[in-house]
Chains A and B, each alone.
Chain A
Amino acid sequence: MMSGMTTLTLQIRMAGLALLIAGWLVLLFAVILLASPALRYVFVIVGLLVELLGLGMVGLHHRFETGGRA
Chain B
Amino acid sequence: MMLADEPIAVLCIVLISMLPLALAGLALLNTGLGRSRSASQSLMGAMLAVSVAAVIFCVIGFSFAGFQGMTSYSLSLGSARLDWIGATGMFFGGLHWDGSLPGYAAAFEVFAVGLAAIIPWGSGADRWRLRAVGMASVLIGGLLFPLFAHWVWGGGWLASLGSSFQIGAGFVDPGGAATIQAFGGLTALVVVWLLGPRSGKFSGSSVPRAIPGHHMIFVLLGCMLMLPGWLAFNLLGATLYAGTTPQMLVPVAINTLFCAAMALMAALFITRIRFGKPDVSLCANGWVAGLVTSSAVAAFATPAEAMIAGTLIGGALPWLVELLEVHARIDDPSGAIVVHGFAGIWGLFAVGFMGSFPPGQMLAQLIGIGTLLGVMLPLIYGCFWLLNKVFPFRTSPEGEQVGMDLHELGAGAYPEFVIYGDDFLPR
Q: Which residues of A contact B246 (CB under 8 A)?
A: none
Knowing A37-B363, A63-B329, the reply to whether A31 touches B377 (Cβ < 8 A) is no
| A51 and B367 contacting across the interface, CB-CB below 8 Å | no
A58→B193 contact, CB < 8 A: yes
- Bin chain A's interface residue count: 20 to 34
Take A41-B363, A67-B202 as given contacts and tell me if A59 and B369 are in contact as well, using a CB distance cutoff of 8 Å.
Answer: no
Interchain CA distance A67-B328 in the complex, whole Å: 11
A31 to B79, CA, bound (A): 12
**By the criterion CB–CB under 8 Å, are B378 and A17 in contact?**
yes
Q: Which one, B165, B196, B378, contacts A21 given CB within 8 A?
A: B378
A18 to B, closest residue via Cβ: B378
CA distance A52 to B345 in the complex (A): 13
Judge if B360 is at the interface, Cβ distance under 8 Å.
yes
Q: Which of A20, A44, A63, A67 contacts B377 (CB 8 A)?
A: A20
A66 in contact with B329 given A17-B381, A20-B373, A24-B373 (CB within 8 Å) = yes
Q: Is A1 an interface residue (CB 8 A)?
A: no
B197 part of interface (Cβ distance < 8 Å): yes
Contacts of A24-68 to chain B: CB distance below 8 A: 24-25, 27, 31-32, 37, 40-41, 44-45, 47-48, 51-52, 55, 58-59, 62-63, 65-68
* Closest CB in chain B relative to A61 CB, distance in Å: 8
Bound CA span A24–B370, Å = 6
Q: Bound complex: CA of A59 vs CA of B161, how far in Å?
A: 31
Contact B374 A20 (CB under 8 A): yes
> Are A37 and B370 touching (Cβ within 8 A)?
no
Smallest beta-carbon distance A8→chain B, Å:
17
Assess the B373–A31 pair: CB atoms within 8 A.
no
Instruction: Kindly identify which residue among B161, B375, B381, B382 contacts A31, using a CB–CB cutoff of 8 Å.
Output: B161
Contact B363 A44, beta carbon cutoff 8 Å: yes
Q: Which residues of B contact A40 (CB under 8 A)?
A: 167, 363
Closest Cβ–Cβ distance, residue B221 to chain A (whole Å): 32
Q: How far is the CA of A17 from the CA of B375 in the complex (A)?
A: 10
Whether A68 touches B329, Cβ cut-off 8 Å, given contacts A17-B378, A20-B378, A32-B80, is yes
- A31: chain B residues at CB < 8 Å are 161, 165, 167, 367
Interface check B371, CB cutoff 8 A: yes
Give complex CA distance A51, B372 in Å.
10
Q: How far is the CB of B385 from chain A (nearest CB, A)?
A: 10
Interchain CB contact under 8 A, A24 and B371: yes
Chain A residues with Cβ under 8 A from B202's Cβ?
66-68
Q: In the complex, which residue of chain A has the Cβ closest to the Cβ of B164?
A: A31
Which residues of chain A have C-beta atoms less than 8 A from B360's C-beta? 37
In the assembled complex, the CB of A37 is this many whole angstroms from the nearest CB of chain B, namely: 6
Nearest residue in A to B79 (C-beta to C-beta)? A32
Complex: how many Å from CA A47 to CA B374? Answer: 9
User: Which B residues are in CB contact (< 8 Å) with A59?
Assistant: 193, 328, 330
Interface assignment of B366: CB less than 8 Å from any CB of chain A: yes
Please state if A55 and B373 are interface contacts (CB–CB under 8 Å).
yes
Which residues on A sit within 8 Å (CB–CB) of B410?
A: none
Known pairs A63-B329, A66-B202, A67-B202; A23 contacts B197 (CB<8 A):
no
Are B374 and A21 in contact (CB-based, < 8 A)? yes
In the complex, chain B residues whose CB is within 8 Å of the CB of A62: 193, 329-330
Q: How far is the CB of B232 from chain A (nearest CB, A)?
A: 32
List A contacts of B78 (CB < 8 A): 32
Q: Is the CB of B373 within 8 A of A27?
A: no
Residues of B341-371 whose CB lies within 8 A of A? 359-360, 363, 366-367, 369-371
Task: Name B152-182 residues within 8 Å CB distance of A.
Answer: 161, 165, 167
Q: Assuming A31-B167, A44-B370, A67-B203, what are 13 further A-B pairs, CB within 8 angstroms?
A: A23-B373, A27-B367, A27-B370, A37-B360, A47-B370, A51-B370, A51-B373, A63-B328, A66-B197, A66-B202, A66-B331, A67-B202, A67-B329
- Can you name 17 A-B residue pairings with CB atoms under 8 Å? A21-B374, A24-B370, A24-B371, A24-B375, A25-B374, A31-B165, A31-B167, A32-B77, A37-B363, A40-B167, A40-B363, A51-B370, A51-B373, A58-B381, A59-B193, A59-B328, A66-B329
Task: Mark A residues whose CB is within 8 Å of B.
Answer: 17, 20-21, 23-25, 27, 31-32, 37, 40-41, 44-45, 47-48, 51-52, 55, 58-59, 62-63, 65-68
